[in-house]
Structure 1
Amino acid sequence: MTVEFRANEDGPGIVAVDSVEGRQFSLSTDEPVSLTPASRPSFSEPVDAVTSCHIRTITLPYVVPVFVREADETLLVECDNFTHEKLPAGEYEIEIAAAIKFFLRVSGPVTVQSLSDSMHISFDETTRVELAAQSYSEGPTATVTTTADPEDVMAAVSTFGSSLETTSPERSFPSQRGHPPQLELGSTLMIPDSIDVPETGLEIEVPPELPAVYAVASLSYYLGARVVPGSNPRLLANGTEIVSLADSSEIRGEPTGVDTSETNAERTPLEQAVTDVLQHVFVLDCIVRTEGQYPIDLAERRQLEERVDLPLATLYAAPIAERVTTYMDVPFDVTDDLVPTWQLSTHVSPDPDSVEILSYAANTLSLISVEHQHQQVEAAPEPPGYGALIRSISRETEPVEPAVEPSYIRISSSETLEQAWFGEGRSVNANDLSIESVQNRFTSEPADGPIEIGVVCNEAQMVSEVSEEALYGDRKDLPFDISSYRNLSCRELENVLRSDLDFLHYVGHVNRSGFVCHDGTLDASDLEGVGVDTFLLNGCRSYDQGQVMIERDSIGGIVTTGAINNTKAIPVGRLIAGLLNRGYSLRSALTVVSQRHTVDGRYTVIGDGGIQIAQSENGTPNLLQIDRASDGHGYDVRIATFPVIGRGMGSCYTPYAPSVDRYFLVGGDLPTLTMSLPDVVSLLSLERVPTVIDGEFRWSTDIAPTELPGRDSDAE
Structure 2
Amino acid sequence: MLRWDLTASGVRLSNGSTSVSFVAPDWQPTAVSHALPRHVNAVTAGTVSRLQLPATTGRLTTADGTPRAVSAGQSLGAGTHYLTVGIETSRTAMRTDGCGTKQLARTTEAALETTIAFDGPARIRPLGTDLCIDFDQQSTVTVGVSHEHTIPEHTITVTPTPEGIATALSHLAAGMATTGPERSHPAWRHHPPLVEIGSQIDVPAAIQSRTPQIGIEVKLPPDTEYLYVVAPLAYYLGAQVTVENRTTPVLVAPDADVDYAFSSLPAFQHEVASLVRRCFFVDCLLRDDTEQLPPHHSSLLTEWGLSSNELSEAPPATRLAATLSIPHEAIAPHLPEWYLATYVDADPTHVRSFPFLLDSMSLVYLPAASAFDGKELIRRSLDDFYRAGPQAASVDVLMPELQSGYLHGWLASGTPIDVFKLSHAAYENRLKYGHRDGESLTVDVVLNDDEMEAEHDEVAAIYRERAADLAIDLTVHNSLKCKELAAVFETPTDFVHYIGHCDVDGLRCPDGNLSIATLDEIQARTFFLNACGSYHEGVSLVEKGSVAGAVTLTKVLNDQAATVGTAFARLLINGYDFERAMQLARRRIMMGKDYAVVGDGTYVLSAAEERPPAVVWIEKRGDRFDVTYEAHAAWANGATYPNPRDASETNFYGSKPTYSLSKAELQAFLESHDLPVIFDGDFTWTTDLIEKL
TM-score for both structures, normalised by structure 1: 0.76
Cα shift at 1:239: 6.5
Mapping of 1:308-457 within 5 angstroms?
308-371=304-367, 374-377=369-372, 384-393=380-389, 408-444=397-433, 447=436, 449-457=439-447
Deviations 1:628-680 (A, max 9, x none): 666x57x5321112223x32x112122444x453211112x513124577765
SS at match of 2:604: coil
Among candidates 640, 646, 649, match of residue 662 of structure 1: 649
Cα shift at 1:412: 1.4
Contact residue 497 and residue 532 of structure 1 kept, 8 A: yes
1:154 aligns with 2:166: yes
Distance 1:295 1:571, change over 3 A: same
Deviations 1:656-712 (A, max 9, x none): 44x453211112x513124577765554344421023455432224444x754xxxx
Mapping of 1:49-68 within 5 angstroms?
49=42, 67=55
Counterpart position of 2:133: none
Deviations 1:503-531 (A, max 9, x none): 11111101232111112212222221111
- Whole-Å separation in 1 of the counterparts to 2:37 and 2:297: 25
Cα shift at 1:481: 1.6
Among candidates 503, 509, 516, match of residue 517 of structure 1: 509
Counterpart position of 2:215: 201
Contact residue 291 and residue 298 of structure 2 kept, 8 A: no
Equivalent AA in structure 2 for residue 346 of structure 1 = T
Cα shift at 1:271: 0.7
- Whole-Å separation in 2 of the counterparts to 1:507 and 1:75: 58
Cα shift at 1:374: 3.3
Counterpart position of 1:642: 632
- Whole-Å separation in 2 of the counterparts to 1:307 and 1:670: 22
Counterpart position of 2:454: 464
Contact residue 392 and residue 532 of structure 2 kept, 8 A: no
Contact residue 382 and residue 562 of structure 1 kept, 8 A: no
SS at match of 1:159: helix
1:692 aligns with 2:683: no
Contact residue 418 and residue 591 of structure 1 kept, 8 A: no
Counterpart position of 2:570: 578
Cα shift at 1:497: 1.1
- Whole-Å separation in 1 of the counterparts to 2:600 and 2:213: 32
Cα shift at 1:332: 1.5
Contact residue 245 and residue 270 of structure 1 kept, 8 A: no
Cα shift at 1:382: 8.5
Cα shift at 1:363: 2.1
Deviations 1:158-182 (A, max 9, x none): 1111111100011011221122222
Cα shift at 1:568: 1.6
- Whole-Å separation in 2 of the counterparts to 1:158 and 1:104: 26
SS at match of 1:218: helix
Equivalent AA in structure 1 for residue 517 of structure 2 = S
Equivalent AA in structure 1 for residue 638 of structure 2 = G
Mapping of 1:627-638 within 5 angstroms?
627=619, 632=623, 635-638=625-628
Among candidates 446, 452, 465, match of residue 474 of structure 1: 465
Distance 1:229 1:111, change over 3 A: closer
Contact residue 585 and residue 609 of structure 1 kept, 8 A: yes
- Whole-Å separation in 2 of the counterparts to 1:52 and 1:680: 51
Number of residue equivalences? 619
Deviations 1:241-291 (A, max 9, x none): 62534239xxxxxxxxxxxxxxxxxx71111111111111111111111xx
Contact residue 583 and residue 613 of structure 1 kept, 8 A: yes
Contact residue 148 and residue 190 of structure 2 kept, 8 A: no
- Whole-Å separation in 2 of the counterparts to 1:172 and 1:581: 29
Contact residue 383 and residue 565 of structure 1 kept, 8 A: no
Counterpart position of 2:277: 279
Contact residue 620 and residue 653 of structure 1 kept, 8 A: no
Cα shift at 1:370: 1.9
Counterpart position of 2:250: 234
Distance 1:598 1:642, change over 3 A: farther
Among candidates 164, 171, 179, match of residue 167 of structure 1: 179
Equivalent AA in structure 1 for residue 493 of structure 2 = L
Contact residue 217 and residue 252 of structure 2 kept, 8 A: yes
Q: Structure 1: give runs of 5+ residues left out of the alignment.
A: 8-12, 19-23, 29-35, 54-64, 78-92, 114-128, 249-266, 395-399, 709-716
Counterpart position of 1:538: 530
SS at match of 1:502: strand
Cα shift at 1:37: 8.9
Distance 1:46 1:142, change over 3 A: closer
Contact residue 652 and residue 666 of structure 1 kept, 8 A: yes
Equivalent AA in structure 2 for residue 269 of structure 1 = A
Among candidates 259, 262, 281, match of residue 246 of structure 1: 262
Counterpart position of 2:484: 492
Counterpart position of 2:103: none
- Whole-Å separation in 1 of the counterparts to 2:216 and 2:317: 6
Cα shift at 1:480: 1.7
Equivalent AA in structure 2 for residue 642 of structure 1 = H
- Whole-Å separation in 2 of the counterparts to 1:356 and 1:95: 30
532-541 or 175-184, larger mean C-alpha shift: 175-184
Q: Which has the higher strand share?
A: 2
- Whole-Å separation in 1 of the counterparts to 2:386 and 2:440: 35
SS at match of 1:216: helix
1:652 aligns with 2:640: yes
Q: Which has the higher helix share?
A: 2
RMSD over aligned Cα atoms = 4.1
Equivalent AA in structure 2 for residue 590 of structure 1 = M
Distance 1:335 1:482, change over 3 A: same
Equivalent AA in structure 1 for residue 480 of structure 2 = L
Contact residue 287 and residue 300 of structure 1 kept, 8 A: no
Distance 1:16 1:450, change over 3 A: farther
Mapping of 1:525-564 within 5 angstroms?
525-564=517-556
- Whole-Å separation in 2 of the counterparts to 1:227 and 1:464: 56
Cα shift at 1:618: 2.5
1:179 aligns with 2:167: no
Q: Structure 2: give runs of 5+ residues left out of the alignment.
A: 22-27, 47-52, 61-68, 74-84, 90-107, 117-122, 130-140
Equivalent AA in structure 2 for residue 233 of structure 1 = P
Contact residue 17 and residue 25 of structure 1 kept, 8 A: yes
Distance 1:304 1:195, change over 3 A: same
Cα shift at 1:406: 5.4
550-559 or 93-102, larger mean C-alpha shift: 93-102
State, as a whole percentage, how many aligned pairs show the same letter: 26
- Whole-Å separation in 2 of the counterparts to 1:488 and 1:482: 16
Contact residue 690 and residue 699 of structure 1 kept, 8 A: yes
Equivalent AA in structure 2 for residue 304 of structure 1 = L
Equivalent AA in structure 2 for residue 208 of structure 1 = P
Equivalent AA in structure 1 for residue 533 of structure 2 = R
Counterpart position of 2:226: 212
- Whole-Å separation in 1 of the counterparts to 2:70 and 2:621: 42
TM-score for both structures, normalised by structure 2: 0.79
1:297 aligns with 2:293: yes
